[in-house]
Amino acid sequence: MFLGLSSRQMAAGMRFLQLFAAVLAFYFAPANSDWIPATATFYGGADGSDTMGGACGYENLYVAGYGINNVALSTALFNDGASCGQCYVIICDTSKSDMCKPGTSITVSASNFCPPNWDLPSDNGGWCNPPRHHFDMSQPAWENIGIYRAGIIPVFYQQVKCWRQGGVRFTINGFNYFELVLVANIGGSGSIKSMSVKGTNTAWIPMSRNWGANWHCLSGLVGQALSFAITSTGGQYLTFQDVVPAWWQFGQTFSTWHQFDY
């Protein structure tokens, strides 16, 4: 096809073909075994305001570092809260629906749980029923890949690295001998595998997931500076030394500049 063209024209033609091939590879991403089929709906209104809060406990998603591109996960994906904070890139399956916006994708953060609806079959309204993989996305995020009137679209997804501004954040809730710590704005894998806390006068104390992204311990730590040790679900271990000063009070949030890479 390059007969009679100069070397410069041939090089330009090859670059065009490479670019075209890359676009096709993205467009037909389902051919890549790393892409997993699922479905997606939306909730929360055009401004996404009703997606604030949720089963991960982040409350104001802007303050927590997650923003409007958020998603509620079906039971099969939520994993009893262990998936809170994880990031997913989602594309619409153009081979199954003409309600897709071709060539587009959106990356969302898991911030909520989409509960099962046992009154409806999983293929007709019970979209979040096990064992379905389903994303109930904020409307602004969903409209990046789907046409509004569709309501539900077939998609493909991959879990991807989370990129956050700033470092990990700790909010200390609870009372007396019960510390409930919300951990937010986690980069890398986006979620926590295990976590410990250390007071000024204590050894490391293992913490347990209480709900969503909230972890707790049953110790008297008031009046002590607190350090945390976290292992991400990606396997990275980080310590946050004296990140909470001794004068902390319940309800306060403390930010760091320390962040996960994976």
The predicted-structure confidence for 127-137, as pLDDT tens digits, reads as follows: 999 999 999 99
| 48: pLDDT strictly greater than 60 | yes
Distance CA(209)–CA(205), nearest Å, equals 13
pTM: 0.87
Q: How confident is the model at residue 123 (pLDDT cuts 50, 70, 90)?
A: confident
The answer to whether residue 205 scores a pLDDT higher than 70 is yes
Task: Give the pLDDT score at 33.
Answer: 63
pLDDT, the chain, mean: 90
Give pLDDT, residue 170.
Answer: 98
pLDDT of residue 28: 44
Q: How many CB atoms lie within 10 A of CB 258?
A: 16
Q: How confident is the model at residue 108 (pLDDT cuts 50, 70, 90)?
A: very high
Least confident of 24-28, 46-50, 217-221: 24-28
- Alpha helical stretches, state H, 72-197: 75-78, 139-142
DSSP letter at 2 equals: -
Task: Grade residue 16 by pLDDT with cuts at 50, 70 and 90.
Answer: very low
Burial class (CB in 10 A: 0-12, 13-18, 19+), 102: exposed
Give the span between the Cα atoms of 5 and 116, in whole angstroms.
61
Are the CB atoms for 216 and 178 separated by under 8 Å? yes
